[in-house]
């Protein structure tokens, strides 16, 4: 490795602002903030969202049923479906 071209890799504390949880991770990020972590003064980086607060990782994510919305629209406006008589005759036709 060449000397003097690589950034300083060190332990940095990342703090989730919404939960207050702190993570100790190795990083090259530069920050003027510091904090006390397990008796040592460490560089501090604050983040808005982490695995401790993101809905996907906490299990609070809501799934939207898009297929149900389409079916509801089709029923409401009678759109996208054939009449019963037309559907029966087309089902009887052989497909080529």
Whole-number pLDDT of residue 94:
61
In the block, residue with structure tokens 């996907």: 56
Whole-number pLDDT of residue 18:
83
Whole-number pLDDT of residue 77:
84
Question: Cβ distance 15 to 22 under 8 Å?
Answer: yes
| Centroid of chain to Cα 18 | 16
Whole-number pLDDT of residue 71:
79
Whole-number pLDDT of residue 84:
53
Q: In the chain, which residues have pLDDT < 70?
A: 54-67, 80-96
- Determine how β-strand 34-37 pairs with β-strand 22-27: unpaired
pTM over 0.75: no
Distances from the Cα of 95 to the Cα of 28, 74, 83, angstroms: 64, 26, 20
The domains of the chain are located at 10-90
Closest-CA residue to 20 (of 53, 42, 67) = 53
């Amino acid at each position: 490795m060449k000397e003097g071209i690589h950034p300083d890799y060190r332990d940095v504390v990342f703090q989730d602002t919404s939960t207050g949880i702190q993570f100790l991770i190795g990083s090259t990020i530069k920050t003027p903030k510091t904090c006390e972590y397990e008796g040592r003064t460490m560089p501090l980086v604050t983040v808005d969202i982490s695995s401790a607060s993101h809905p996907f990782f906490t299990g609070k994510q809501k799934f939207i049923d898009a297929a149900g919305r389409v079916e509801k629209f089709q029923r409401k406006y009678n759109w996208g479906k054939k009449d019963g008589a037309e559907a029966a005759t087309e089902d009887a036709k052989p497909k080529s």
